[in-house]
């Protein structure tokens, strides 16, 4: 579909500088922009590209002041990054989405489907599954018995949802996601053998949760593993049994959260972070990439880094010292020699 700059500005509540009638039909990166596309400028590193881009329309912040003429039409908004995210969502909605239920899909007779439900080939829905309105299940998805799926949720190919789990409204589960596999629970015996502890709980994803590809969320031993409203998980994340993640917390790829840990609201956790079990992390905490969290973080809004994770300012100072460790050791050895000589 085509949109004029005037239509886009109206959608974003922005102001236009340039030709309001110019049309765009696609999106592009600012460095690779070409006529008929729209892009945005948010990061100062990309400012030089606004003078060379061939994109027809560029969304910029209100405070952007060009240092030389620009050939594109500008749409000024309060926050160009958020505005462009809204545009991406709008363009994505214009794409045709397959509808209907494949003849190669199995749906248990006891399952209940809402209006606008679609399911691809080789998908499976078990007994007493309840699915809301406008849910789209891609091919090769497994939905176990007694699962509940809310309205407007999308399950991409290869998603597996074990029995008794609950998925909220407007959730997105990307390919390879596994919801409700057993928590890692084994009781050690004196003979070095391990007895499996049955995992009889479930997983609850509240509304507007997004889970990246090949992420696994384990069912609780008892009770529920819970991801509250607005949680966003990247690819390749492990969430263990009985973990609870607060509203609007985001976690980057390859992180692992051990069992029974509680993470607060609005936290930001970088990639490859390891978090031990049975601890509590306060609201609005930020954890730097590669950190190892070994104890609770009770301070709201704390920023930590390192393994073990400590206050970020101290962690950075320690890193500077570590880089000079070889030099420091040589100085210590030299001082020792001088002291030993003075005692001879």
Active-site annotation, residues: 241
The tokens describing 336, both together, are 């020792």
Q: Report the 3 state secondary structure along the chain.
A: CCEEHHHHHHHHCCEEECCCCCEECEECCHHHCCCCEEEECCCHHHHHHHHCCCCCEEEEECCCCCCCCCCCEEEEECCHHHHHHHHHHHHHHCCCCCCCECCCCEECCCCEECCCCEECCCCEECCCCEECCCCEECCCCEECCCCEECCCCEECCCCEECCCCEECCCCEECCCCEEEECCCCEEECCCCCEEECCCCCEEEECCCCEECCCCEEECCCCCEEEECCCCEECCCCEECCCCEECCCCEECCCCEECCCCEECCCCEECCCCEECCCCEECCCCEECCCCEECCCECCCCCEEECCCCEEHHHHHHHHHHHHCHHHHHHHHHHHHHHHHHHCC
Residue 12: phi and psi, rounded to 5, are -95, 0
**Which residues, 6 or more positions from 272, have their beta carbon under 8 angstroms from its beta carbon?**
253, 254, 255, 289, 290
Buried b (16+ CB within 10 A) or exposed e, 114-153: eeebbbbeebbbbeebbbbebbbbbbbbbbbebbbbbbbb
């Amino acid at each position: 579909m085509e949109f004029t700059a005037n239509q886009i500005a109206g959608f974003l509540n922005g102001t236009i500088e340039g030709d309001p009638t110019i049309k765009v039909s696609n999106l592009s990166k600012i460095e690779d922009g070409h006529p008929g596309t729209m892009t945005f400028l948010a990061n100062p590193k990309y400012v030089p590209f606004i003078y060379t881009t061939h994109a027809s329309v560029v969304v910029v912040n209100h405070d952007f002041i060009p240092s030389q003429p620009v050939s594109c039409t500008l749409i000024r908004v309060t926050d160009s990054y958020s505005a462009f995210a809204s545009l991406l969502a709008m363009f994505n909605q214009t794409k045709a989405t397959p509808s209907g239920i494949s003849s190669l899909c199995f749906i248990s007779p006891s399952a209940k489907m809402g209006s606008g439900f679609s399911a691809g080939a080789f998908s499976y829905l078990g007994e007493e599954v309840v699915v809301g309105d406008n849910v789209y299940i891609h091919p090769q998805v497994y939905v176990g018995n007694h699962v509940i799926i809310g309205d407007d949720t999308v399950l991409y190919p290869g998603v597996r949802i074990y029995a008794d789990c609950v998925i909220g409204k407007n959730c997105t589960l990307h390919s390879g996601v596994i919801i409700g596999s057993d928590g890692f629970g084994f009781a050690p015996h004196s003979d070095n053998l391990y007895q499996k502890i049955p995992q009889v709980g479930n997983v609850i994803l509240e509304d507007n949760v997004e889970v990246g590809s090949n992420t696994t969320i384990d069912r609780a031993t008892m009770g529920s593993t819970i991801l509250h409203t607005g949680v966003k998980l990247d690819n390749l994340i492990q969430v263990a049994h009985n973990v609870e993640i607060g509203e609007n917390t985001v976690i980057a790829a390859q992180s692992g959260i051990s069992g029974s840990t509680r993470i607060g609201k609005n936290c930001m956790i970088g990639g490859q972070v390891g978090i031990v079990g049975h601890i509590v992390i306060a609201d609005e905490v930020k954890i730097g990439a590669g950190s190892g969290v070994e104890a609770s973080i009770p301070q709201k809004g704390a920023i930590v880094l390192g393994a073990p994770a400590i206050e970020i300012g101290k962690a950075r100072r320690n890193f500077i010292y570590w880089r000079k460790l070889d030099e420091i050791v040589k100085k210590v050895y030299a001082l020792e020699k001088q002291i030993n000589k003075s005692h001879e």
